[in-house]
Each structure stands twice: as C-alpha cells, then as structure tokens.
Amino acid sequence: MENDVEIRLAQQRCERYEKGRAKHLERTYGITLEQYDELLESQGGVCAICREMCVSGRRLCVDHDHDTGKVRGLLCGRCNFGIGSLRTIKNLAMSIAYLENYKESA
C-alpha cells in the first residue's frame, strides 16, 4: 500500500513536469510538445549542428532566431552555447576565417 502511494506521487510529479515543460515550450517558443517531438524525430534525435545525441541526459535545446522568434531546430547544449556566444552570422564567418587562417599557417 505504501508503495502504491509512492508510485502515484511519482506519476503526479512526472505529469506536473510534463505540463510545465509544455507550457514553457508554448510560452517561450510558440511550439507544442508534439511539435518539439516531431522536430526531434525529423532530426533523427540528434543535434542539428554536430549530429550527436545529447549525452548529458538532458533534452536538446530549442534554437530560435531572437529577432523573429522563429524556431530553427534543436541543438545540444554545447552547440546552443556556441551559437548564442557568436550571436551573428558575421561573427561566425569571422570565427571560421580565424580558424582557417590558423590552420593554414600551422
């Protein structure tokens, strides 16, 4: 009987978490939990940039254009941080040029 109560409480925690997650996705990115899952499936369950699975046990991050709010894809934490740090395509291009220049001179 005590085990039944523990199981029920665990189920309720999971349900509350999923409802909160669904609200967060809708409020922050304008997508449903189902749309997130469809996007994840369309990417093969991997990061849209590095094509690796999220190994930290966390879900992939929703990447979106901060100017338009449009969702671009799902990224692992590392790629999401990198994109966020670079901020613009110009900075990304300059970073690539910097790395290519170093590779050529090495």
Q: Answer for the pair 90, 59: CB distance below 8 angstroms, yes or no.
A: no
pLDDT tens figures, 41-100: 999 999 999 999 877 667 899 999 888 999 999 999 999 999 888 888 888 899 889 989
Q: In the CATH hierarchy, which top-level class contains the domain 2-105?
A: alpha beta
Boundaries of every domain in the chain: 2-105
Helix (H) or strand (E) holding 64: strand 61-64
Q: What is the pTM of this model?
A: 0.74
Q: How far apart are CA 56 and CA 47, in angstroms?
A: 13
Q: Give the pLDDT score at 19.
A: 77
Q: How far apart are CA 106 and CA 91, in angstroms?
A: 23
Q: Positive or negative, the Cα torsion across 85, 91, 95, 96?
A: positive
Q: Answer for the pair 72, 43: CB distance below 8 angstroms, yes or no.
A: no
